[in-house]
Amino acid sequence: MSMDLTVKQLRDGLDSREFSAREITQSYLDRIEKIDGQLESYITVTGEKALAAADKAQQRIDAGESAPLTGIPMAIKDNICTEGVLTTCASRMLENFVPPYNATVMDRLEAQDTVLLGKVSMDEFAMGGSTQTSAFKKTKNPFDLTRVPGGSSGGSAAAVSADLCGAALGSDTGGSIRQPASFCGVTGLKPTYGRVSRYGLVAFASSFDQIGPIARSAEDCGIILNAIAGYDYHDGTASKLPVEDYTAKLGMDMKGKKIAYVSEFFGEGVDDEVRNSVLAAIDSYKAMGAQVVECSMPSLKYAIAAYYLIASAEASSNLARYDGIKYGHRSEVEGSYNDLVIASRSEGFGDEVKRRILLGNYALSSGYYDAYYGKAMGLRQRIREEYAGIFEKCDLIITPTAPSVAYGINENIHDPRKMYQADFCTVTVNIASLPAISTTCGYNADGMPIGMSIVGNMWKEADIIGAADAFEKTFVRRSAAL
Catalytic sites, residue numbers: 77, 152, 176
DSSP letter at 229 equals B
Element housing 427 (H / E): helix 427-431
* Distance separating alpha carbons of residues 188 and 429, to the nearest angstrom: 14
- DSSP collapsed to 3 states, 88-112: CCCCHHHCCCCCCCCCHHHHHHHHC
In sequence order, what are the residues at sequence separation of 6 or more whose Cβ sits closer than 8 angstroms to the Cβ of residue 300? 262, 264, 265, 383, 424, 428
* Distance separating alpha carbons of residues 228 and 214, to the nearest angstrom: 13
In sequence order, what are the residues at sequence separation of 6 or more whose Cβ sits closer than 8 angstroms to the Cβ of residue 238? 194, 196, 197, 198, 199, 230, 231, 232
* Distance separating alpha carbons of residues 332 and 453, to the nearest angstrom: 47
Which amino acid would we find at residue 231? Y
* Distance separating alpha carbons of residues 130 and 197, to the nearest angstrom: 25
One DSSP character per residue, 260-316 reads: EEEGGGGSTTS-HHHHHHHHHHHHHHHHTT-EEEEE--GGGGGHHHHHHHHHHHHHH
- Residue 453 has φ and ψ, to the nearest 5°, of -110, 140
DSSP letter at 389 equals H
- Residue 48 has φ and ψ, to the nearest 5°, of -65, -45
Give the residue among 188, 238, 180 at the shortest CA–CA distance from 209: 238
Q: How many CB atoms lie within 10 A of CB 96?
A: 10
One DSSP character per residue, 461-477 reads: HHHHHHHHHHHHTT--P
Q: CA angle, corner 303, sides to 268 and 267, nearest 5?
A: 15
Rounded to a whole number of angstroms, the distance between the first and last alpha carbons of the chain is: 17
